[in-house]
């Protein structure tokens, strides 16, 4: 069998799968600091290492939930849904010109939140 990138990166095969996966996961988390990326890269590992990474991912999502979804009605009033036409108009004003991609740009810029954006 030809020595591949996975074998070079994770070391010799006598190291257990969980240990290799945790070492690989530690490297990827050091590089990115992103738990979602870490969970995505660890998809090939099995057993305890995978369960641990999944738990970390769930905790990170729960921690960010109040930020992305305000629970109190008062905080929801700060952002309101807007129409595609309004998004296009605001984006055209910000960009200084009107383009066909204005609605996409407005959606990515985070000007409107809620059901109208979906």
Answer yes or no: do 14 and 35 share one domain: yes
Provide mean pLDDT across the span 69-97.
Answer: 71
Same domain, 83 and 36: no
14: pLDDT confidence band, cut at 50, 70 and 90?
low
36 shares its domain with 91: no
Same domain, 36 and 14: yes
- Number of domains, the chain: 2
Question: What range does the domain containing 23 cover?
Answer: 5-68
Kindly provide the residue ranges of all beta strands, DSSP E only, lying in the chain, ordered along the sequence: none
| 64 & 77 share domain | no
Note whether 106 and 91 are within 8 A (CB). yes
One domain, residues 18 and 36: yes
State the pTM of this model. Answer: 0.19
In this structure, the answer to whether residues 62 and 90 fall within a common structural domain is: no
Q: What is the pLDDT of residue 85?
A: 86
Under 8 Å between Cβ of 4 and 31: no
């Amino acid at each position: 069998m030809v020595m591949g990138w996975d074998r070079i990166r994770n070391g010799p095969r006598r190291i257990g799968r969980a240990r290799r996966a945790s070492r690989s996961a530690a490297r990827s988390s050091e590089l990115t600091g992103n738990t979602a990326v870490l969970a995505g890269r660890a998809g090939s590992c099995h057993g305890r290492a995978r369960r641990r990474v999944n738990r970390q991912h769930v905790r990170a999502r729960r921690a960010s939930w109040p930020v992305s979804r305000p629970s109190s009605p008062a905080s929801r009033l700060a952002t309101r849904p807007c129409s595609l036409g309004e998004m296009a108009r605001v984006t055209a004003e910000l960009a200084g010109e009107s383009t066909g991609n204005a609605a996409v740009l407005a959606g990515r810029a985070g000007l409107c939140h809620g059901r109208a954006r979906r």
